[in-house]
Amino acid sequence: MWVIIALSVFLLILIVTNIRIVSQSNAFVLERLGSYSTTWGTGIHVKLPFIDRIAAQVTLKEQVADFAPQPVITKDNVTMMIDTVIYLQITDPKLYTYGVINPFNAIENLATTTLRNIIGELELDETLTSRDMINNRMRVVLDDATDPWGIKVNRVEVRNITPPKSIQEAMEKQMRAERERRESILKAEGEKQSAILVAEGQKASAILKAEAEKAAVILQAEAAKEAAIREAEGEAQAILSVQKATADGLNMIKSVNADEALIRLKSLDALAKVAEGQATKIIIPSEIQNLAGLVTSVAELAKK
């Protein structure tokens, strides 16, 4: 009786101790009699006691491998310290378990040699400005190399590039000189722009002044033209008035039936008024000459 109870308790404890629960993003590698049997995924599993053995518990989450700075030499023989960060993920627990001893150590050594090969092809300036290229090349090389190990390299980041102190001082001097050069260029550009703006302002002022003078001359010419036109119109109006008065006078004479003798007397009267002027030479029409002869004849007869 007690033997059966003890045996039952032993079997129960044995079964309970061989039950395994695999949580999310994890995997168990199971060996049976020393060889690979299967990989347990998420869920509850039971292994055979004394026959099955859990060889490895593997996490499937993305992991970050932060390696210490490594000395590398550039193409122009400058030694610098570079540290990298690798983001990786286990995709095959079996290959990860049986592929290589200490996978992270292997990845670190592989990353160091790859980084030295890449930096050895670049000069100092290219190294400082080609982080993306270095990251991409390292990721491709590491991803291909770690496929047999069941590891996927997602990203590689060069975190720090530390040149020697002497190189840093030289770079600081170079950057200071470059900043001073840019400052001088900007100052010269500002002065040039200022001079151009001043010249353009003077040019615009001269153009406006010339246009104002031109407008004044045009207005003056227009005013003179208008005055001349008005003066000519006044003279024409005066001439028309004189002609009209003359025509009216002739019409009046014609309307009163003045004889030829009266007309000649009027002409003689007008001639007398002309003679009162300062002219030294007077042209007398033939009609008035005949009238003058008639008057003389009448005067002689009166004396007799």
| 79 and 129 assigned to the same domain | yes
Residue 266 confidence (pLDDT) above 80: no
Digit-coded pLDDT (tens) for 210-262 = 888 888 888 888 888 888 888 888 777 877 776 777 677 666 666 655 555 55
Whether residue 72 sits in one domain with residue 158: yes
Average pLDDT of the segment spanning 53-74:
91
Same domain, 48 and 140: no
Pair (44, 104) in one structural domain: no
Looking at the domain assignment, is residue 39 inside a domain?
yes
> Token pair of 179, please?
């900043």
Domain-terminating residue out of 129, 163, 197: 163
Q: Evaluate whether residue 177 is within a structural domain.
A: no
Residues 232 and 268 grouped into a single domain = no
Check whether 300 has a pLDDT greater than 80.
no
180 within some domain: no
Last residue of a domain, one of 59, 88, 108: 59
- Both 29 and 93 in one domain: the answer is no
- Which of residues 143 and 299 earns the better pLDDT score? 143
What is the tally of structural domains in the chain?
A: 4
3-7, 18-22, 291-295: least confident range: 291-295
- Structural domain that includes position 73: 62-163
Same structural domain, 234 and 252 = yes
Same domain, yes or no: 228 and 289 = no
Residue 175 within a domain: no
Same domain assignment for residues 294 and 242: no
Tell which of 59, 84, 105 closes a domain: 59
Residue 174 within a domain: no
CATH number for the domain spanning 98: value is 3.30.479.30
Tens digit of each residue's pLDDT (9 = 90 or more) over 14-63: 788 888 899 998 999 999 988 999 999 999 998 888 888 999 999 999 99
pLDDT over 90, % of the chain: 29
66 and 129 part of one domain:
yes
Predicted TM-score (pTM) of this structure: 0.55
Query: Is there a domain that residue 168 lies in?
Result: no
Residue 207: inside a domain, yes or no?
Answer: yes
* Domain assignment of residue 94, yes or no: yes
Q: Looking at the predicted structure, is the pLDDT value of residue 99 above 50?
A: yes
231 plus 295 within the same structural domain: no
Q: What is the rounded distance in angstroms from the CA atom of residue 63 to the CA atom of residue 91?
A: 12
Q: Are residues 115 and 66 in the same domain?
A: yes
Alpha-carbon dihedral 109, 115, 116, 120, rounded to 10 degrees:
170
pLDDT of amino acid 301? 44
pLDDT tops 70 at residue 278: no
Encoded amino acid at 41, one letter: G
User: What average pLDDT does the segment 179-197 reach?
Assistant: 87
